Structure formats: structure tokens, C-alpha cells
Amino acid sequence: MSKIKFHLGEEIPLELHKVRVVQKLHLVPIERRFEAIKEAGFNTFRLSTKDVYLDMLTDSGTNAMSDKQIAAMFQADDAYAGSQSFARLYSAVQDVLGKKFLLPVHQGRAAENIICRAFMKKGNVIPMNYHFTTFLAHVLENGGKIEELLCDHALDFSSDHQFKGNIDINKLEECIQRNGVENIPFIRMEASTNLIGGQPFSISNMMDVRRVADKYGIMLVLDASLLGENAYLVKQREEQWKENTMGDIIKMMVGLADLVYFSARKLTSSRGGGICTNRKDLYQKMEALVPLFEGFLTYGGISVREIEAMAVGMYETLDEDMICQSPMFIKYLVESMASHGIPVVTPPGVLGAHVNAMDFCSHIPQNQYPAGALAAAFYLVSGIRGMERGTISSVRDENGEEILADVELLRLAVPRRVFTLSQVKYVVDRITWLYENRNMIGGLKFVYEPPVLRFFMGGLEATDDWPERLMAKFRKDFGDSL
């Protein structure tokens, strides 16, 4: 795909698929959007899709399925035990990931629950490149804590370092020695590190991590939810792997880990999740937990139709023409926003484009949630729903004090093969207008704060009447436009 050259010079992300089923969208007027975001407690998770034009909340469960996935769903074998749908998924996992044992689970966080329960004890420490919200919640539930060991440049958003998801090997050694091997049940590496802007790790870094894991006899766990995209960026950016296939790269990464888990909502454009390994001892430690929390071992709480879609989707992760679509659109979106001066995470990663709210809203103190405020303001002026990835998504410490997040990002997810280029251009148009009027955005405060994963259902309100003023400015500049 990257081999296509354009006569007019502008490099555009060219779709290698055609649209055959469509869903009508609604762009409701700003007055309705104002009511909707107030009703949603200024939390984009709580908006109804009837009020959303472009749903850029997440790629989870929203990637477009292929015709082959939909077709496969019709051959689903409804059986509580021994379903042929599971047999097909099992073959796909063996072929693509090269792992002998597979435990199906209903989604990624269910895998995290089982892994943490099976391998963690109270007081344990889990070293990792960076946390994901649900994984952190499970570690805390099990009485442990995490250490994030990214290289120093990883949170410098303007740095063009190609592998910001790498673990700093010196920090890893130091972490193990300081905490003691006996307190570290496993090291976790997350493919395409979600919360720092969908940034990949390199294979050479994973090899180094493996060497350290072997030296101390510690297990290496890979979160493979965004594995295809990490593999694609390895092929683009890591010299030694340029000539290899996606399959080679995926097998290499998966082969370096003792245990691999994934959210199929992301990895295979379906629903569900899984845990796989070649080690029988690890499999046996987790096996009993699947019927307890998920369902029988041949469906794991996933509908058999989705299992069929997962099996086909597993093979499709090997297709560079499919995997490249979302990263190419993200690159276009990031570069277009940057060209209008908007502070964005670079280099462009995967999953979505990430706007740096700390810079965009530098006038909003972090305890008034600049990324949450930006997400709400952007929805108001565009009908586009992004996701806050900042302090609202963080937690409080044992004294109830806010732990301010390392980053304040507005994530604009670009699910696979869902949006068109004109829609992406609309995103750029509206965010540029908002950037020019950024001083009008104000802060937020909690009015309802759930104790766990508060960002999902938490309710907030504006610190003053800034949303009303922003709406009035929109009307002044755009007239009666939607």
C-alpha cells in the first residue's frame, strides 16, 4: 500500500475496500448537542449515539467487519461444549499466533482478571511499558501495584522517536532488583501502547526484555489487543523487519512471550477475547477460572457467531492491506492537524489521533481535567465523540487525593475501514476552529464519582458557563450551520 505514488503530490490514504452496507448518521444541531452533553454529565461515554455524528470514542467493537467475517457467522455451531466454531478459532490461533493452548474469554479485561487472579499475590509489583486502565484496575483489585518503565522520551509528544512503547532495559533491571524477583510474577508488554498515543515497541526491545525475563526467571506477558498495528509499524520502521511478512513479525512477537492475551474487540474486529500460551503449566493455572467467570472452555462467554468472526479476523490480521487502513488515516489526520498548529502526539500511532490537551488547553489546571473539557467542547462544536485519556481516567491515591495523569489527551479513534476521507477532513475543520477559540474552553468538576473506573460513568459539570459562551461563538461564526 505504501508503494502507491500520487501524481499531484498529496499523499492520501487510499481505501483498499469498498462500502457495501451503510448506516445512516445524524448530525444534530449544536443546541441539541449542548443539551446532550449536559445530560451526559460532560462525559462522552454517557452520550447516546443518536446524538453523535462521528463516533471516535474507540475502535473497540466498532471496526468494520469484512464480508468474509459476516459470512462465517452464519456457519456458527451452537453447542455448549465441543463447538466446531471454537475448533475453527483454535486452528486460527495456532496458525496465526503459533500457540497450543487457548482460553476464550468474553473480552480483554476478562483475560486480565483471570491472569491477575492466577498469577498475582498481594504486594506484587508488575513492571510494564505502560498501563491500560482495565489492567491497572485488576492489579489494584488483587492488592498489587505497577511500575511503568518507558524510555525518557516516550512522553515527549513532539519527539519523533519511532518506538515510544519500548521498555527502558536499565529501568527494568533496577525495578527487579529493588522489588525482588519473588515479588514480580510477570512483566507486561502492551502492543501499540494505548494510553501514550498508540505507540509501538520494537522487536529488538522485546528481545531485550525477554533476555532480562530469562535472566531472572520471570514470565513475560504480552497484551496483543493492538498486535496487528504494532506489527505493521515494525515493518514500516524497524530496518531488520522491512522485508518480512506480517505473519513473520506477529509470530516473532508472540513467540517471545510466555502468555499472550487480547481483546478480540480490537485485534480481530469482532467481539470476545482470549488468552494463549504454549506452556501447559500456565494453562492449567488459569483453566478452572474460565468456567467460573466466563463460560465453558469452548465458548468463554462469547457467542458462537462472534467466535466465527474472530477466527476469520485472526487470519485477516495478516493482511497488510487491511491493517494499514487505520494507521494511514491516522497519519493523514495527525499531519493535517499539525499543519494547522494543533498540538498532537507524533509520530502518528495507531488506534486514533491524539490531541495534547495539556497544550491545547494550557490555561486549564490539571485538576479541572483539560482533556475531559476538550472532549466535551469538541463534541459540542462538531458532534464528534472522542475520549478523554487523562486525569479523569486516572485514580485517587489511598488518601483520596487525585493522582494527576502523566498525559492529558483527547483521543480521536479511527476504527478500521469505518470513516471516509471527507469525514476526516470535517474533523480537521472543526478542531481547527476550536483551537482558534481554545481560550473559551473552561474546566470541569465531578458531581458523581464512581470508586472504580470512574471515567466510564462519572458525571461532571462545567466550572462556569463556558459551554454556553462557546455555543454562542459557534453560532456567530457559523450562522445556522449544523
Just list the catalytic residues: 80, 132-133, 223, 266, 389, 455
DSSP state of 256: T
Q: Three-class SS of residue 467?
A: helix
Per-residue binder mask for ligand F0G (CB under 6 A), 178-197, x = binder: ------------x---x---
> Which of 273, 386, 390, 442 touches ligand F0G by CB under 6 A?
273
159 binds ligand F0G (CB under 6 A): no
Pick between residue 104 and residue 442 the one whose CB is nearest to ligand F0G.
104
CB of 79 to ligand F0G, least distance (A): 24
Total chain residues near ligand F0G (CB under 6 A): 16
Q: Which stretch binds ligand F0G (CB under 6 A): 41-49, 107-115, 234-242, 329-337?
A: 107-115
Pick between residue 136 and residue 176 the one whose CB is nearest to ligand F0G.
136
* Cα separations in angstroms, 277 against 84, 129, 261, 318, 364: 21, 21, 9, 20, 46
454 binds ligand F0G (CB under 6 A): no
Pick between residue 142 and residue 368 the one whose CB is nearest to ligand F0G.
142
108 binds ligand F0G (CB under 6 A): yes
352 binds ligand F0G (CB under 6 A): no
Q: Which residue has the cell 475502535?
A: 59
Does an H or E element contain 263, and which?
strand 259-263
Looking only at the bridges linking them, the beta strands covering 273-277 and 352-356 are unpaired
Report the C-alpha gap between 200 and 211 in whole angstroms. Answer: 19
60 binds ligand F0G (CB under 6 A): yes
Report the C-alpha gap between 48 and 385 in whole angstroms. Answer: 10
> Which of 55, 148, 223, 238 touches ligand F0G by CB under 6 A?
223
Instruction: Determine the distance from the C-alpha atom of residue 88 to the mean position of all C-alpha atoms in its chain, rounded to a whole number.
Output: 26
Q: What is the dihedral of CA 194, 41, 456, 195, to 10 degrees?
A: 10
| Residue whose beta carbon is closest to ligand F0G | 108
83 binds ligand F0G (CB under 6 A): no
104 prior amide bond cis, ω within 30: no
Q: What is the dihedral of CA 195, 199, 205, 209, to 10 degrees?
A: 20
138 binds ligand F0G (CB under 6 A): no
Cell output for 430: 472543526
109 binds ligand F0G (CB under 6 A): yes
Q: Which stretch binds ligand F0G (CB under 6 A): 105-113, 163-171, 314-322, 370-378?
A: 105-113
Nearest Cα residue to 208 out of 149, 280, 248: 149
Give 176: exposed, middle or buried? Use CB within 10 Å, 0-12, 13-18, 19+.
buried
> Which of 107, 202, 325, 394 touches ligand F0G by CB under 6 A?
107
Q: Which stretch binds ligand F0G (CB under 6 A): 73-81, 114-122, 265-273, 376-384?
A: 265-273
Pick between residue 84 and residue 133 the one whose CB is nearest to ligand F0G.
133
Nearest Cα residue to 187 out of 148, 151, 225: 148
Q: Three-class SS of residue 139?
A: helix
Binding positions for ligand F0G, rule: CB under 6 A:
58, 60, 107-109, 132, 134, 190, 194, 223, 225-226, 263, 265-266, 273
